[in-house]
Amino acid sequence: MATLIKLPQFGVTMTEATVVAWLKSVGDTVERGDAVANIETDKLNQEVMATASGILRRIVVPVGGVAKVMEALAVLGAASEPESAIDAALGVAAPVVPSTKTEPARAPTSAFSSTAPTRAEDEGAAVRASPLARRLAGELGVNLARVQGSGPGGRIVEEDVRTAAASGQAGGWILASPLARRLAKDAGMDLGSVTGSGPEGRIVERDIQALIAAHAVSAPAPTSSPSPVQATPAHAPSIAAGGLVAAPAVAGLTRRETVRIDAMRRIIAERMSASLQTTAQLTMFAEADATALVELRAHLVPAAKVYGHRPPTYTDIIVSIVSRVLRDHPRLNSSLVTGDTGSPEIAEWNEVNIGVAVALDAGLVVPVIRDADRKPLQTISQELGELAESARAGRLAPDTLQGGTFTITNLGQMEVDGFTPIINPPQAAILGIGRIAKRPAVVDDLVVARSQVTLSLTFDHRIVDGAPGGAFLRDVRRAIEAGKI
pLDDT, greater one: 250 or 389? 389
Q: Residue 277 and residue 202: Cα distance in Å, rounded?
A: 37
Q: Residue 112's pLDDT is what?
A: 39
The 3-state DSSP class for residue 364 equals strand
Q: Residue 167's pLDDT is what?
A: 63
What is the DSSP track for 15-50?
Answer: -EEEEEEESS-TT-EE-TT-EEEEEE-SS-EEEEEP
Q: Residue 100's pLDDT is what?
A: 38
Q: Residue 23 and residue 140: Cα distance in Å, rounded?
A: 13
Q: Residue 465's pLDDT is what?
A: 97
Cross-strand pairs, 81: none
Is 299 considered catalytic here?
Answer: no
Confidence of residue 266 (pLDDT cuts 50, 70, 90): confident
Confidence of residue 114 (pLDDT cuts 50, 70, 90): very low
pLDDT, greater one: 90 or 219? 90
Residues of the chain with CATH 4.10.320.10: 137-214
Q: Taking residues 295-304, what's their average pLDDT?
A: 94
> Considering only 131-140, 307-316, 324-333, which range has the smallest mean pLDDT?
131-140
Q: Residue 356 and residue 376: Cα distance in Å, rounded?
A: 17
**By percentage, how much of the chain surpasses pLDDT 90?**
39
CATH of the structural domain 3-90, one choice from 2.60.120.200, 3.40.50.740, 2.40.50.100, 3.40.50.1100 = 2.40.50.100
Contacts 24+ apart (CB under 8 A), 305-312: 309/378, 309/381, 309/382, 310/381, 310/382, 310/385, 311/381, 312/377, 312/378, 312/381
pLDDT, greater one: 440 or 69? 440
Pairing mode of beta strands 54-59, 72-77: antiparallel
Q: Taking residues 29-53, what's their average pLDDT?
A: 82
Q: Residue 122's pLDDT is what?
A: 40
Q: Residue 249's pLDDT is what?
A: 76
Confidence of residue 334 (pLDDT cuts 50, 70, 90): very high
Q: Taking residues 59-71, what's their average pLDDT?
A: 86
CATH of the structural domain 281-482, one choice from 3.30.365.10, 3.40.50.300, 3.30.559.10, 3.30.930.10 = 3.30.559.10
**By percentage, how much of the chain surpasses pLDDT 70?**
74
Residues of the chain with CATH 3.30.559.10: 281-482
* Per annotation, catalytic residue among 190, 262, 461, 475: 461
Q: Taking residues 373-378, what's their average pLDDT?
A: 95
Give the end-to-end CA distance of the chain in Å, rounded to a whole number: 56
Q: Taking residues 230-252, what's their average pLDDT?
A: 57
Q: Residue 238's pLDDT is what?
A: 46
Statement: residue 5 has pLDDT above 90: yes
Residues of the chain with CATH 2.40.50.100: 3-90
pLDDT tens figures, 169-226: 434 456 666 667 767 776 667 676 677 776 556 677 777 776 666 554 444 444 444 4
Q: Residue 47's pLDDT is what?
A: 82
Q: Residue 397's pLDDT is what?
A: 76
The 3-state DSSP class for residue 123 equals helix
Is 461 considered catalytic here?
Answer: yes
Statement: residue 231 has pLDDT above 50: no
pTM of the predicted structure, to 2 decimals: 0.56
* Per annotation, catalytic residue among 28, 328, 371, 465: 465
Comparing CA positions, the residue from 350, 432, 356 lying closest to residue 387 is 356
* CATH classification code of 137-214: 4.10.320.10
Q: Residue 257 and residue 264: Cα distance in Å, rounded?
A: 19
Max avg pLDDT among 144-153, 197-206, 280-289: 280-289
pLDDT tens figures, 417-470: 999 999 998 999 999 999 999 999 999 999 999 999 999 999 999 999 999 999
Q: Residue 294's pLDDT is what?
A: 96
Comparing CA positions, the residue from 358, 354, 355 lying closest to residue 389 is 358
